[in-house]
Structure formats: structure tokens, C-alpha cells
Amino acid sequence: MKAASLTARLSLLFALSTVAVLLGLGWTLERLVEVHFREIDHHEIAGKLALVRNLLVKATTPASLATLPAELEAALVGHPGLALRVQAADGSLRFASVSGQVPPRMPVARPGGEAVEGVLWVRWQDGAHAFSGLIARVAIGVSEAPPDTVAIGLDISHHQAFLDEFRRILGLAMLLAAAAAAALGWAVTRAGLRPLRRITALAADLDASRLGDRLPEARVPAEIKALVIAFNAMLARLEASFQRLSDVSADMAHELRTPISNLTLQTQVALNAARDADQYREILYSSLEEYERLGRMIGDMLFLARADQGLLRPVTAILDLAAQVRDLFDYFEAWAEEQGVSLALTGSAYVRGDPSMLRRALSNLLSNAIRHTSAGQQVCVQLTDDKQWCRITIQNPGPTLSPEQLPRLFERFYRADPARGRQGVGSGPGTGLGLAIVKSIAEAHGGGIAVTSEAGRTCFVVTLPGAWRHTPRMAPVATAGK
């Protein structure tokens, strides 16, 4: 079964809400009108009862009782819908009006009536006519005579007819109001959901060539504006991701083309003429270097792909960072001396992390610093530990990088100096992935990395959780090794 649209649902809710409000309002108005009519009827009937009571009290002699019917008849002049009957205590009829209908014979304490101060108010139906009236015991002026029974009835059919017409008009008004509310609700809802239709249309036509499209955020309802902002932000993230993917693909193709071209050229040269064993061995060694470079690049890309998918699961242990750095100094010592660069370490720190991952990150940062440091300069490594976080600061003199370049240093295949070619930033010459790997390793450990460059010095700061953050009683264990 197909679900109703949101516009139809809201329109129906508009209609039902309008009907509910009108029902409550109509019931209240009907009750007020009915109470008002009843007060009018009671007032008229009570006035006639007071008049009859006054005439009976004045009838103190048989002669006055004989003239009582004429006086009562005169009292009813101008009230065609009013009926009156006066009955003596012995059952004889003193007076009965010709027109109208008096209440049916019943005692004063008739159940279901409304008895107030010896007066029983009653309502009854006779065919198509409705009546309201009262029955009361009224004393007469004759001394020690028992009271008479007075019955007064009033035809209230015109009031009932008015109420019936009122209900009919009210019901018709409710139907028309519900239809108008549904139509208005449909129009308002459709107008209010226009941004959703734009989102649907944009999502339906979305492809890589239209990721730059955005929904207008002006004059959008507050309830939908958050959705529009979130949708635009999603498009921005998708556009940035596609752009990064495109850049990485282009850079990867460029990076792979060089070693593959070298291998092709070397193979063609080797096949062009007969050579001795030493020459073939030299060509094979050159090809091996290119294969190793391709292997490093592919391994780094696979590592970053696992990081992007959240598959890096560091095997944590308590590490002495100072020992790790000293081991790496020994590893890079020969290369640093060849470059004319000295290495310095200050401070100490213990972290909880994966030994192989952190060694790889430190190795990438040190090789990057040595590669960009001029002869006669020094690469400084500083370790700080406040028990909660530890910071690894690697600083080297070199060209000052612009603020626009700094955030991009951790992008894949990015080089701050494209002219360096194969001597760019990376875990090995030409890969351009070293700093991206460092960033992934730091984030996998719950930390991060930042970089600053000013006054001819570039400084990388890696922040990692301290060793005592979750195990305050564990003693430090130095873990080192190549």
C-alpha cells in the first residue's frame, strides 16, 4: 500500500484540527444559546407565576374567587403560547386557559424535574412541539384554605427550531471550514516543502559534474533551513572528497608513470643490443630501485586506504619515545653526516601506542626534516610529557612555507616545492605520502599533528595520549628496536 504524501497528511491534519476546534466552539455556543433561551423562558414563566400567586392571595372571599378566572384570562392576553391551569385542593378546576398546553398532571416532587423552592420545573415533548413549564402549590387568600395547584406551560418550539437551524448551519460551516483548511493546508504545506522538492530534484540529477551546485539558504523556513544547510555541507564534503580523489588519481598516475617509463626505457635499451653480464646486472639493479619505489608507494597507499576506512587498530604498549628517537638517530646517522646535518634530542616522554606505527611516523618526520635541512644546520627533536598528553616536536631550519601551503602538507602526493621532483616530502624519495601517513597514525592513536613555519624554521608537533592516561600505576617499559 502506497503511503500518503507529507502534503496530504498535513492537509488532513489541518482539516481535522479545524473540525476539532469548530466542534468545541460550536458545542460551547450551542450551550450558551440554549442556557440563554432557558433563562428567558424561566423568566417569563416565573413572572406569570408571580402574577397568579398575587391574584390568588388577593382572593380572600367567595366573591373574589368567582372573579378570579376573568382576572387570570386578562393576565394571559398577549401571550398566545402560554397556558395556565389552576386547580383547587379538592380537585375542582378554578381556571384553564383555552390556548397553549399546560404541564401534564404530576406531583410537585416528580422525579426528573427541577424543584426549586416548592416549584417543579419540567420540560416535555408533544409531537413536533416542545414545551417548558412548572407546577407549584400556591396559597390562596381564603383563611385556612389548602393551597391550589398552579400549572403553567410555554411553547418553546421556536427556540428549538432556532437551535436546530443553528446546528445545521454550524455543521455546514464545519464542512466548509474543513475543506478550506485542507485546501489552505495543502497550499501552505506545498509552498513550505518547496526546498525539499529542490533537494529531491538536485539529488536526482546529482553527479560528479554538479557537485558545485548548492541550495539557496535565504527565505527558507526555520524547520527546513537546518536540512538545507546540512545538505549543502554534505555537497561541499562530497565535492572536496571528489576533488581530493581526482587529485590523488592524477598524482598517482603521474608518480607511477615515471618509474614505469624508466623501467620501459631500461628494458628497451637492454634489448637493443647484446651486453655483457656486468651491464645487465647494472640495468637490473636500476630496475630493482624502481620496483622498490613502486612497492613503497603501493604499500603506503594501502596503508592510507585502511586508515580512511578506520581499519587501523594500534597494538598499544608503553613506549619510551626518547629511546625510539635515539635508535632512529643511529639509523639516519650516516645519511645525516652525508648531508652535513646534525641531530639533537631533548626531553623524555612515555606514550601508549603501537611500536611499529609510531616508529614509522617518527622515521617519516625525521627523514623529511633531514631532507629539507641545509648542510651545517641541525634538526632538533624535543619531547614533553604532562602525564595526560605527550608532544613530539621536530624542528628544522629551511625555507619558510606560506600559510596556504601548511594545511596541504598532509595531503597525499602534495609537495611544497614541486621543483624538487623525486626529492619531495615522503617516506621515501618521490612517494609524497610520508606526512599523510604520519597524520593517519597520530589520529589512529587518538592524537593529532600540527605544523608551523616562520623565520626560516619549520616545526611539526605530534600530540599523543600519555602512557599514564589510563594506567596510572603501570611502570614505564622502554621499547626500542630497528
Locate 364 and state its grid cell.
617519516
What's the pLDDT tens digit per position in 314-360?
777 888 999 999 999 999 999 999 999 999 999 999 888 888 888 88
Distant-in-sequence, close-in-space partners of 22: CB < 8 Å, separation ≥ 6: 170, 173, 174, 177, 178
What's the pLDDT tens digit per position in 397-452?
988 888 888 888 887 776 665 544 444 333 344 467 788 888 888 888 888 999 99
- Asked if residue 86 lies in contact with residue 150, where contact means CB atoms within 8 angstroms, the answer is yes
For residues 274-298, average pLDDT? 81
* β-pair partners for 318: 352
- Asked if residue 432 lies in contact with residue 293, where contact means CB atoms within 8 angstroms, the answer is no
Which has the minimum average pLDDT: 2-6, 259-263, 337-341, 381-385? 2-6
Task: Report in angstroms the alpha-carbon separations of 200 from 65, 206, 228, 427.
Answer: 93, 10, 11, 45
Exposed / middle / buried, residue 348 (Cβ in 10 Å: 0-12, 13-18, 19+): middle
Which has the minimum average pLDDT: 56-70, 102-116, 275-289, 301-315? 102-116
Exposed / middle / buried, residue 431 (Cβ in 10 Å: 0-12, 13-18, 19+): buried
State how far the Cα of 337 lies from the Cα of 324, in Å rounded to an integer: 20
What is the pLDDT at residue 83? 87
Asked if residue 110 has pLDDT above 60, the reply is: no
**Which residue segments constitute the domains of the chain, with CATH numbers given?**
6-167 (3.30.450), 222-308 (1.10.287), 317-465 (3.30.565.10)
For residues 124-149, average pLDDT? 85
Asked if residue 474 has pLDDT above 50, the reply is: no
Tell me, yes or no, if the pTM score tops 0.75: no
CA dihedral 407, 412, 418, 422 (to 10 degrees): 140
* β-pair partners for 123: 132
Task: Report in angstroms the alpha-carbon separations of 76 from 20, 85, 219, 338.
Answer: 46, 11, 72, 134
What's the pLDDT tens digit per position in 291-305?
877 787 777 777 777
Single-letter residue type at 466: G
State how far the Cα of 279 lies from the Cα of 266, in Å rounded to an integer: 11
What is the pLDDT at residue 115? 46
Distant-in-sequence, close-in-space partners of 357: CB < 8 Å, separation ≥ 6: 312, 314, 441, 444, 445
For residues 381-409, average pLDDT? 87
What is the pLDDT at residue 382? 94
What's the pLDDT tens digit per position in 13-47?
878 888 888 888 888 988 998 889 889 988 888 88
